[in-house]
Structure 1
Amino acid sequence: MLKICLLFILSVFITLSVLAQKKKPIPVLIVDGFSNHDWKQTTAITKWILEENGRFLVEVSTIPADSLNRSAWNPDFSKYVLIIQNTNNIQKPSLRWPRQAEKQLEKYVSNGGGLYILHSANNAFPHWKEYDKMIGLGWRRASEGYALEVDGAKNISRIPPNEGEGTGHGERFNALIQVLTPHPINKGYPDQWQTANTEVYYFPRGPAENISVLSCAFDSTSTKRTWPVEWVVKYGKGRVYNSSLGHLWKGESYPPAYRCIGYQTTVIRAAEWLATGKVTYPVPPDFPTALKLSLRPENSYQTP
């Protein structure tokens, strides 16, 4: 009888130890509320991508449309390990975060928080100089910062302000992503992989400080030159991930750009790295290659 009791106590102890070791989901906040893109669907699909694998618990803070309520918006970023920025005021410059929220984000990232700049979010807020430093490169006029370009030998050149053009893009196409800098986010990726219906920004501009370009792509639809696609920035003690991947326009519904297994994998791995400094999410066996796209079925995501 004593032996049975001891075995029972041991099994309970082992069970409790296993439960204690089970990691809690990483708390993430998506900020949205205005954009010239379909920000509602972008937020919903991004939340689903992150939560589907069980590593993340995602909340959403939508900036109020009413100017009075918007001026009082000031979320507590310290509750989260990662902030995903999904607002863009490129067509309505008067739409801004209130200054107290700007300061909170600066403090949050500087003190070690993670920030994910989701596609068109790097088009936003040219008035906000610390934001420019956080994102490294964005959609800016020719006079607003350095542009980075990648040559055939994968060397990066800095194009000074007022040389070349302001940021833009040609037609969307199935871009061939070329890994430029080894990083935990792209560890295990093929050197080149296809992603669907992508915008390759030409002359992405900004301070370009404390920046590492992770990947690039040849702009086959306009400039016929190679430009950065993904980059990470160190801002104080914090980490920032920024890219032109993830375009979702009004009228689209779970488009190929979001169904791309390469894109979804990168979203998860970038988020995990920003939050923890490490990447444990594996590269799936059906990850795209240089010769083949890899898309999830259209019905794999159901609109909430």
Structure 2
Amino acid sequence: MLSACVSLNVLAQKPKPIRVLIVDGFSNHDWKQTTAVTKWILEESGRFLVEVSTVPADSLERRAWNPDFTKYALIVQNTNNIQNPNLRWPTHAEKQLEEYVRNGGGLYILHSANNAFSHWKEYDKMIGLGWRRASEGYALEVDEAKKITRIAPNEGKGTGHGDRFNALIQVLTPHPINKGYPKKWQTANTEVYYFPRGPAENIRVLSCAFDSTSTKRTWPVEWVVKYGKGRVYNSSLGHLWKGESYPPAYRCIGYQTTVIRAAEWLATGNVTFPVPANFPTATTQRLRAEDSFQMP
């Protein structure tokens, strides 16, 4: 009887999973696989219950698409219309996302999602920085003293990136997401955006990396934005291109850990997921096995 009571007590104390919604449906990246592997990463942690809402391809159905964001503690944005600017969310869905985040919701901008929706000014405010033309906002750069400099609109270039490489992520700002991380850690096959641009308001840059394949300058990699009462996490990490299958960028233990910890912070304001013992270091890359994930 005592054993049964202890077991029931443990079950009673087990927290409910955090409800997450991934929004996908169009991108110049492999959005279907990106959604599948992200859902798996989050659910494998035991902390999340993930659902997916796919924006319909049919224009009439898309206009009627009306997800209820308020049912979730976190929205993961995985749509990108950079190659087709006329492909957008319906206006009512845009307004609902703004209200959701403004009222305290969490929003994860997943890699190429920060390329999206240049027409949507409140989206620019939510993401802080994104893939934008030189005229479209401030760019942030990190100097040798690890201080952030603002580059005015029309100074420098529009956003871009060089070849992918195993970037050395440098923690710039202590934060619950990166608490316990090495000051520097190796990613795998990563894009480092140069001249990321936007309003850059209410923003904290968490990490940066030296762009060794193009500009030979240091640029933000991860940042968080306060939008109303809500929290937004945005990053250039997480590239998954068409024709790839669970690539090293996604197998990176540092990346997977960051996805989980960022999601938990966005949803709750706290981070309880531990930094694993085999987290990458400044000199050692750490990847999960190629067969650790299989497309459903």
TM-score (norm: length of structure 1): 0.96
Listed as ranges, the gaps of 5+ residues in structure 2 are none
Distance in 2 between residues matched to 1:75 and 1:17, nearest whole Å: 36
Counterpart in 1 of 2:52? 60
Q: Are positions 1:272 and 2:264 aligned together?
A: yes
Partner of 1:105: 97
Q: Distance in 2 between matches of 1:245 and 1:226?
A: 15
For residue 186 of structure 1, the aligned residue among 164, 178, 186 is: 178
> Out of 289, 293, 296, which is 2:285 matched to?
293
C-alpha distance in structure 2 between counterparts of 1:220 and 1:116, whole Å = 27
- Matches of 2:25 and 2:146 in 1, distance apart? 38
How many Å apart are 1:17 and its aligned residue?
2.9
Counterpart for residue 11 of structure 2: 19
Deviations 1:53-94 (A, max 9, x none): 110000000000000000010100000000000000000001
Residue 236 (structure 1) aligned with residue 233 (structure 2): no
User: In structure 2, how many angstroms separate the alpha carbons of the residues matched to 1:301 and 1:127?
Assistant: 36
Give the Cα–Cα distance (whole angstroms) in 2 for the partners of residues 237 and 11 of structure 1: 44
Matched, 1:85 2:77: yes
Matched letter for residue 162 of structure 1: N
Q: Structure 2 residue aligned with 1:122, among 114, 125, 130?
A: 114
2:38 maps to: 46
Task: Supply the distance in 2 between the matched residues of 1:139 and 1:83 (Cα, whole angstroms).
Answer: 20
Task: Determine which of 243, 250, 257 is the counterpart of 2:249.
Answer: 257
| 1:196 alignment counterpart | 188
Shift of the 11–296 alpha-carbon distance from structure 1 to 2, 3 Å rule, reads closer
Deviation at 1:227, TM superposition (A): 0.2
Unaligned runs of 5+ in 1: 1-7
Q: What SS is found at the alignment partner of 1:197? A: coil
Residue of 189, 200, 204 corresponding to 1:208: 200
Q: In 1, Cα distance between the equivalents of 2:142 and 2:290?
A: 34
Secondary structure, in 3 states, of the residue corresponding to 1:174?
Answer: coil
Instruction: Report the CA distance between 1:11 and its aligned residue.
Output: 5.5
Q: Aligned partners of 2:36 and 2:3: how far apart in 1? A: 41
Separation of aligned partners in 2, 1:24 and 1:213: 31
Identical pairs, percent: 85
Q: Which amino acid is the alignment partner of residue 177 of structure 1?
A: I
How far the C-alpha of 1:303 sits from its partner, in A, is 1.4
Over the aligned positions, Cα root-mean-square deviation in angstroms equals 0.9
Does residue 147 in structure 1 map to residue 139 in structure 2? yes
2:162 counterpart of 1:170: yes
Q: Which amino acid aligns with 1:237?
A: K
C-alpha separation in 1, matches of 2:57 and 2:294: 27
Question: In the aligned structure 1, how far is the partner of 2:37 from the partner of 2:9?
Answer: 34
Q: Which of these two proteins has the greater Rg computed from alpha carbons?
A: 1
Deviations 1:179-220 (A, max 9, x none): 000000000000000000000000000000000000000000
For 1:11 and 1:246, the matched residues in 2 are separated by 45
Distance across 2 between alignment mates of 1:194 and 1:12 = 46
Among candidates 125, 148, 160, match of residue 156 of structure 1:
148
Query: Number of aligned pairs?
Result: 296
| Offset from partner CA, 1:224-250 (integer Å, 9 cap, x none) | 000000000000000000000000000
1:283 corresponds to = 275
- Structure 1 counterpart of 2:285, which letter? L
